[in-house]
Amino acid sequence: MPATAALRVIDSVLIVDDSSVQRSLGAALCRELRITDVHQAEDGVDALALLDTLPAPPDLLIVDLEMPNMDGPELLAALSARRLRSPIIVASSRESALRQSVEDMGTALGLRILGSLPKPLTQSALGTLLRRQGSPEPAESRAAKTAPVDPQELRLALEREEIIVFYHPQVEIGTCRVRGLEALARWHHPSRGWIPPDAFIPVAEQHGLIHALTLRVMDLSMAQTAQWSRLGLDLSIAVNISPLLLERGELVQEISDLQRKHNLRAEQVVLEVTESSLLRELAVALGVLTRLRLRGFRLSLDDYGTGFSSMQQLARIPFTELKIDRSFVHGAAERESLQVILRSALDMASELGLETVAEGVESLQDWKLVRQYGCTLAQGWLLAKAMSASEFEPWLHRLRTHRPELLG
């Protein structure tokens, strides 16, 4: 529900700057902000080598622009290729327009750019930027991040049914009605607590476990959706499909079998795929997607804006929905460049007859902007964080009390 921004708990930072004076200043400011684990690198090459040695990425990166060997923009491109999810601050003594274009470049690469700051850094500027990050992350998930996931343990976790599903509601912007939920995998580890999907989905993909994992997520979430149907709640359920699975022709039958088993209508099931799925075996992926669509399942293009496909190319694939990545949504009210991207994506989607979902609606400002731009559905922390099935109905009641504020 509408929440005030709190300082996210940040324990570790990597400062990348070729000037040792600026690095020391940054390190001192971070320590004043109670960031205890401070790493330093003198350019991009040094930073990448250091990241390879750390057990988990730092909670924050502060990146200078002008450096020998590998400069700031080159480092951002390399971090994007590694799919780094940690927030990044760009720091430079160069003009603000230049810093802004690097910010935009990083965002377009799918990185979480928090903003940019003029050098020398000050404690108040750094603190203000960090406070903009939103709600603090649960302590358990921070702890989990620090240890890599062992594929053998993940295999056992699947057998022991430790992988469960959390649900993230999608709300119709015009009516505040809940249209459906996205199923998000969570690992409840007996000693480490909750492990977030970013930590184990890539491991599942690399070790042949993603198929079993996805079928489990589908089975659990379809059973839950059927259960809600019996209570009179007509909802859709969206499941994330890894690019690797689109290479399996059998997938179409497997999904149909589960849908029939749970007695859902095909149109209640939304399959979310990312643009990168289409970069692999395009013909095979297209075959699977077309057959799924023929059977009535809905297809959503997830994380739109973080890949490189042109809209023209995407228009040839039978998507029913476009999901705009949260890096173009949250904070867009204050950033003209994001507004341009957001508006043009929404306009194109509507011309193509696609529904639109804005991910990352964290503030009332985000909500008002996507509403003004005619987006159909919103998903984000303003409304709720992903929750267990049992939390859904109480949340639904609370949502009703917030309707006047959201529709006003």
Cross-strand pairs, 39: 14
Q: Which does 189 bind (CB under 5 to 8 A by kind): ligand C2E, Mg ion, none?
A: none
**Closest-CA residue to 213 (of 272, 249, 165, 250):** 165
Q: Which of 169, 196, 305, 331 binds ligand C2E (CB under 6 A)?
A: 196
Q: Is 142 in the site for ligand C2E (CB under 6 A)?
A: no
Each residue 221-240 as x (binds Mg ion by CB under 5 A) or -, in order, gives -------------------x
Site string for ligand C2E, 149-168 (x = CB under 6 A): -------------------x
Neighbours of 303 (CB within 10 A): 20
> According to the binding rule CB under 6 A, does residue 379 interact with ligand C2E?
yes
Min dist. Cβ of residue 101 to ligand C2E (A): 24
Closer to ligand C2E by Cβ: residue 180 or 197 = 197
Q: How far is the CB of 353 from Mg ion (least distance, A)?
A: 21
Looking at the Cβ atoms of 168 and 189, the one nearer to ligand C2E is 168
Token digits of residue 83:
């799919």
Three-state DSSP class for residue 84: coil
Q: Could you say whether residue 333 binds ligand C2E (CB under 6 A)?
A: no
Inter-residue contact 166 to 224 (CB < 8 Å) = no
Shortest Å distance, C-beta 300 to ligand C2E: 9
From residue 224 to residue 263, the character string flagging contacts with ligand C2E as x (rule: CB under 6 A) and all else as - is ----------------x-x---------------------
Q: Quick one: which of 376, 380, 389, 399 contacts ligand C2E (CB under 6 A)? A: 380
Which residues, in sequence order, are CB contacts of 192 under 8 Å at separation 6+? Answer: 140, 143, 144, 147
Q: CB under 5 to 8 A by kind: which of Mg ion, ligand C2E, none does 113 bind? A: none
Do 35 and 126 touch, CB atoms closer than 8 A? Answer: no
Report the distance separating Cα 119 and Cα 92, nearest Å.
5
Q: Which does 201 bind (CB under 5 to 8 A by kind): ligand C2E, Mg ion, none?
A: ligand C2E
Pick out residues in 12-41 that bind Mg ion (CB under 5 A).
none
Q: How many other β-carbons are positioned within 10 Å of the β-carbon of residue 335?
A: 18
Total of residues contacting ligand C2E (CB under 6 A): 23
Alpha helices in 249-335 (DSSP H): 251-261, 282-294, 311-314
341 binds ligand C2E per the rule CB under 6 A: no
Q: Does 84 bind ligand C2E (CB under 6 A)?
A: no
The single-letter DSSP state of residue 151 is H
Q: Does 321 bind Mg ion (CB under 5 A)?
A: no
The answer to whether the CB of 344 falls within 8 A of the CB of 325 is no
Residue count at the site for Mg ion (CB under 5 A)? 5
The residues with which 172 forms a beta bridge, in sequence order, are: 377
To the nearest 10°, the Cα dihedral for 391, 396, 398, 403?
150
Q: Which stretch binds ligand C2E (CB under 6 A): 31-39, 91-99, 196-204, 312-320?
A: 196-204
**CA–CA separation, 93 and 358 (whole Å):** 34
Using CB under 5 A, which of 43, 59, 64, 303 touches Mg ion?
303
275 binds Mg ion (CB under 5 A): no
CB of 306 to Mg ion, least distance (A): 8
Hey, what's the torsion of the CAs at 68, 69, 74, 79, to 10 degrees?
-110
Footprint of ligand C2E on 256-315 (CB under 6 A):
272, 302-303
By C-alpha distance, which of 227, 301, 299, 289 is closest to 264?
Answer: 227
Output the CA torsion 148→74→38→108 (10° steps).
-70
CB of 79 to ligand C2E, least distance (A): 17
Amino acid residing at 95 = E
Residue number, 14 or 322, with CB nearest to Mg ion: 322
H or E segment at 359? strand 355-359
Q: Which one of 64, 302, 321, 355 is in contact with Mg ion (CB under 5 A)?
A: 302
Q: How far apart are CA 55 and CA 343, in angstroms?
A: 39
Binding stretches for ligand C2E (CB under 6 A) = 168, 184-185, 196-198, 201, 214, 217, 240, 242, 272, 302-303, 326, 359-362, 379-381, 386
